[in-house]
Amino acid sequence: MRENGPVTTPTDAPPPVVPRLIATDLDGTLLRDDKTLSARTIAALGAAERAGVHVLFVTGRPPRWMDAVVSHLPAHATAICANGAAVVDLSAGSRLIKVHPLGRAEALAVVHRVRSAAPGTTFAVEFTTGVHYEPLYPPLFQDPRATVAAAERLLDEEVPGTGAPVLKLLAHHTQIAPDAFLTLAREAVGDLVSFTRSSPSALLEAGGAGVSKARTLAEYCAERGVLAEEVVAFGDMPNDVEMLHWAGTSYAMANAHPAALSAASRRTLTNEEDGVAVVLEHLLAAR
């Protein structure tokens, strides 16, 4: 794994081609720690769009958590959410354009395997219609519309195939270190689902087998004739690793997880220092 050396400034190594698309994570990357966009970042995003560079938000957040950026939408107002499980039109009330769901049978198998491997794990299920969770699961935001019940009940359908699609299954543990929990869960389920993490706590996210930010981004770009080498990507956590590998040019934030730092071809300043905006300003100046 790459050593955490000095930050590579954008001017040290300009991308070999002018980017056609910017794919950026939100939390810990584009957003500051208070979950807001700085004035500098807003200006850089707008300048990129005006210059004809497609800006795409690619996040682990579900569609319902896009309020942080919805008032600063790029021209096309599209986002990839839930680690690649959903493509969303944010200009139309987070209308789902495409969904790569997690099968309920697979989700239930994951619940049983992870519970066995890590007793004390609690679960939440993120559907296209909202989130529901187990009684001991610590939700970040209490949702009065949520059903609170065992995961088996949350995943049950009276008539198979009639329930809302599952975007992701979340697993939380209070006593296992985050990276150790991720390793344990991946070993327990194999390739049944795609396990990753984006939280600083031991909160894991499971999507359908093979679903990732990279896969959905690649589909999105192929539909628009954009090549991987024409994409510049930004990220900071394990759920960004595949995307950082796939993009022709990729930047990990200076505050990034070691896995993201290793996956990226370059690095920029921290999210608190507007690291994405710094790179965009440089790219536009070179253009």
Does the pLDDT of residue 3 top 60, yes or no?
no
Kindly state the greatest CA–CA separation across the chain.
Answer: 58
Domains of the chain with bracketed CATH: 10-100+212-286 (3.40.50.1000), 104-208 (3.30.1240.10)
The pLDDT tens digits for 213-252 are 999 999 999 999 999 999 999 999 999 999 999 999 999 9
Predicted model pTM: 0.92
Closest CA to 103 of 161, 154, 172: 161
Under the banding of pLDDT at 50, 70 and 90, the label for residue 93 is confident
In Å, how far from its chain's centre is CA 156?
26
Q: 177 vs 78, which has greater pLDDT?
A: 177
Q: 160 vs 167, which has greater pLDDT?
A: 167
For 126, 197, 266, the CA distances from 205, given in Å and listed in that order, are 10, 6, 26
Q: ∠45-130-222 over CA atoms, to 5°?
A: 45
Under the banding of pLDDT at 50, 70 and 90, the label for residue 4 is very low
In whole angstroms, give the CA distance from residue 147 to residue 71.
30
Average pLDDT of 254-263?
A: 98
The pLDDT tens digits for 41-92 are 999 999 999 999 999 999 999 998 887 787 766 666 889 999 999 999 988 7
- State residue 6's pLDDT score: 39
In whole angstroms, give the CA distance from residue 133 to residue 146.
7
Closest CA to 272 of 34, 98, 51: 34
Q: Please tell me which of 88-102, 130-144, 214-228 the model is most confident about, judged by mean pLDDT.
A: 214-228
Whether 132 and 147 have beta carbons less than 8 Å apart is answered as yes
Average pLDDT of 264-281?
A: 96
Mean of the per-residue pLDDT values for the chain?
Answer: 91
Under the banding of pLDDT at 50, 70 and 90, the label for residue 139 is confident
Sign of CA dihedral 135, 138, 144, 145: negative
